[in-house]
Amino acid sequence: MSDSISPAFSLEFFPPRDLAGQERLVRAAKQMLAIQPKYVSVTFGAGGSTRAGTADAVRTLRNLGCDAAPHLSCVGASRQDLRDILLSYKNEGVRRVVALRGDLPSGMGGDAGELRYANELVSFIREETGDWFHIEVAAYPEMHPQAANPSADLAHFVAKMQAGADSAITQYFFNADAYFDFVERARAKGVSAPIVPGIMPITNHTQLLRFSEMCGAEVPRWIRLRLAEFGDDKASIRAFGVDVVTELCQTLLENGAPGLHFYTLNHAEAPMAIWKSLSR
Ligand code: FAD
């Protein structure tokens, strides 16, 4: 990684569920301060299931000196719920949010909430709080799984940016070309804001396949075959994962990605190993 590139790294965490999880979050975040993240973000359980947990984790991370951004999703929420959450973050001095539609967990009933899509949430945040928040939104280089086709999905992404988002973080992917193609198509539609690749470290074969199935990220056949061959050999999976993901990050940064957003899953080891390999 040459000095001239100086990419911005950001880190994503989820709100811990218990004391042990809380300790793990703090330990991981402290270790990763070495990366000097531009900001860190904390996910939100759509429907509000982690409302307090997200706010607590944001406070914890801010106390460690990080610029911490809560994720906020509109599905299942009323305008008043969203207003209350935004105002409490504003009162605490939080300046950045990740605005999402979210997906209601199965079994949570059919109340979709008052805002249907993330572009409506972005507009709502701007109406309620003006320019207070830097707004990040989600982007899908390999297409959101519910979209009718890539062009429709791109049009919806452009609508989110036009509604007032400042930058975007992508769903993870392992095909760099999907990212470059998406950025090119977004630029052709007039989006000039940064689109930062979301990076998923490879540490667990079964979990990776499950996540990828749910979110529509393609795990290339050669990666699936190599992972299957490692079986339960966790050390080999991790070493292979660091090599593959470092190479992906290098390709992305060398070809113009403005930074990298690591999905840490509250563990420092894999993102740190990738970051160190990139720094060599
Ligand atoms: P949208 O941008 O609203 O898009 C959702 C779907 O609707 C897409 O298929 C889109 O093409 C379509 N669409 C959009 N607008 C319209 C329209 N006007 N008419 C018709 N169709 C439309 N989930 C969580 O629950 N909590 C989190 O913290 C969280 N963090 C995330 C962080 C990142 C960086 C990413 C990439 C995803 C995250 N997710 C999270 C997952 C996300 O909530 C889901 O992918 C969700 O299904 C879509 O959210 P969105 O904000 O991208 O939705």
- Residue 21 has what pLDDT? 97
pLDDT at 237: 98
Please provide the DSSP assignment of the chain as one string: --TTT-PEEEEEE---SSHHHHHHHHHHHHHHGGG--SEEEE---TTTTTHHHHHHHHHHHHHTT--EEEEEE-TT--HHHHHHHHHHHHHHT--EEEEE---PPTTS-S---S--SHHHHHHHHHHHHTTSSEEEEEE-TT--TT-SSHHHHHHHHHHHHHTT--EEEEEE-S-HHHHHHHHHHHHHTT--S-EEEEE-----HHHHHHHHHHHT----HHHHHHHHHHTT-HHHHHHHHHHHHHHHHHHHHHTT--EEEEE-TT--HHHHHHHHHHH-
Min mean pLDDT across 45-49, 91-95, 252-256 is at 45-49
Among 125, 144, 212, residue to substitute to test ligand 1 (most atoms within 8 Å of Cβ): 144
Q: Which atom of ligand 1 is nearest to the CA of 72?
A: 28
Instruction: Decide: 151 in ligand 1 pocket, CB within 6 A.
Output: no
Q: Output the pLDDT for position 107.
A: 63
pLDDT computed for residue 111 by the predictor? 73
- Name, in order, each residue with C-beta under 8 angstroms of 101's C-beta and a sequence gap of 6 or more: 46, 73, 74, 75, 115, 116, 117, 118, 121
267 lines ligand 1 (CB under 6 A): no
- Average pLDDT estimate for 211-238: 96
**Ligand 1 site, residue 100, Cβ cutoff 6 A:** yes
Task: Tell me the per-residue pLDDT of 17-74, one tens digit each, with 9 for 90 and over.
Answer: 999 999 999 999 999 999 999 999 999 998 778 889 999 999 999 999 999 999 999 9
Q: Give pLDDT tens digits for 140-184.
A: 999 999 999 999 999 999 999 999 999 999 999 999 999 999 999
Using the structure block, give the residue that is written with the tokens 């929420």.
Answer: 77
- Per the CB < 8 A criterion, the answer to whether 53 and 13 are in contact is no
Query: Which of the four pLDDT bands, split at 50, 70 and 90, describes residue 110?
Result: low
Q: Residue 245, CB half-sphere, CA atoms under 13 Å: how many?
A: 27
Task: State the pairing for strand pair 68-73/39-42.
Answer: parallel
Q: For ligand 1, is residue 44 a contact (CB within 6 Å)?
A: yes
Say yes or no to pLDDT of 108 above 70.
no
Determine which residue's CA is closest to atom 42 belonging to ligand 1. Answer: 102
Give the model's pLDDT for residue 55.
97
CA 95 to ligand 1 centroid distance, Å = 21
- In which band, very low, low, confident or very high, does the pLDDT at 4 lie, cut at 50, 70 and 90? very low
3 pLDDT exceeds 60?
no
Q: Please tell me the predicted confidence (pLDDT) of residue 280.
A: 76
pLDDT of 196 higher than 80: yes
**C-alpha span between 218 and 151 (Å, rounded):** 18
Which residues are known catalytic residues? 12
- d(Cα 198, Cα 56) in Å, to the nearest integer? 24
Contact 46 CB / ligand 1 (< 6 Å) = yes
Top mutation candidate among 156, 162, 191 for ligand 1, by most atoms within 8 Å of CB: 156
Please state, for a pLDDT cut of 70, what percent of the chain lies above it.
97
Q: Which atom of ligand 1 is nearest to the CA of 157?
A: 2
Q: Which residue has the higher pLDDT, 268 or 109?
A: 268
Residue with tokens 């965490």: 13
Pocket test for ligand 1, best of 13, 117, 122 (most atoms within 8 A of CB): 117
Query: Which protein residue has the closest C-alpha to ligand 1 atom 41?
Result: 102
Both structure tokens of 170: 């992508």
Residue closest by Cα to atom 26 of ligand 1: 44
Q: What is the pLDDT at residue 279?
A: 85
Question: Of the given ranges (5-14, 128-137, 216-225, 231-240), which has the lowest mean pLDDT?
Answer: 5-14
CB of residue 160 inside a 6 A radius of ligand 1: yes
Q: What residues contact residue 181 under an 8 Å CB cut-off, 6+ apart?
A: 141
Q: Residue 18: what residue type?
A: D
